[in-house]
Amino acid sequence: MKYLFTILLIFICKYGYTFVSNPLLYPFPNDTKIIIHSEGNGKIKKGILKITNPGESPWIVQSWTEGSEGKKTAVYPALARIEAKSSLVLKIYPQPNDKDKSEWMVVLFIPPDSLRKPSELTIPIAYRLKII
């Protein structure tokens, strides 16, 4: 048993890094919620969400809001390409008379085709963030 443990430990030390040496780095939002602030004289309300792409390939970012019965919150840019090892700032502008704070923002990351192998399926990554 002692020899088996020693051999296993040597194997893990020598080859263990190969299992985690090439992780897939995908984009992510830097916050878990979006806070709407008033700017300047209080007439303009705006929220900001920073997206970071630590990976080696570009991704497509699509964003929209859900949840307030017909009231639309504007998200700029709604569709954008985030380059490798870069960041993107999304700006959220709610309606001026919007008192209902029960909105969600969905950010969808669509992977590039270059990551896909012929027999693999690529799945977009989606985040749902609370707007407060």
CATH number (domain holding residue 89) = 2.60.40.10
**Residue 116 falls within a domain, yes or no?**
yes
**Residue 14 falls within a domain, yes or no?**
no
**Residue 76 falls within a domain, yes or no?**
yes
**Residue 120 falls within a domain, yes or no?**
yes
**Residue 10 falls within a domain, yes or no?**
no
**Residue 4 falls within a domain, yes or no?**
no
Q: What share of the chain has pLDDT > 90, as a percent?
A: 39
Q: What share of the chain has pLDDT > 70, as a percent?
A: 77
Strand 79-82, strand 103-110: pairing: unpaired
Q: Which residues of 90-116 are buried (b: 16+ CB within 10 A; e: fewer)?
A: bebebeeeeeeeebbbebbbbbeeeee
Domain that holds residue 30: 22-131
Tens digit of pLDDT for each residue in 16-67? 555 555 566 889 999 999 998 887 777 788 899 999 999 888 999 999 988 7
61: closest CA among 52, 71, 48, 70? 52
Number of structural domains found in the chain: 1
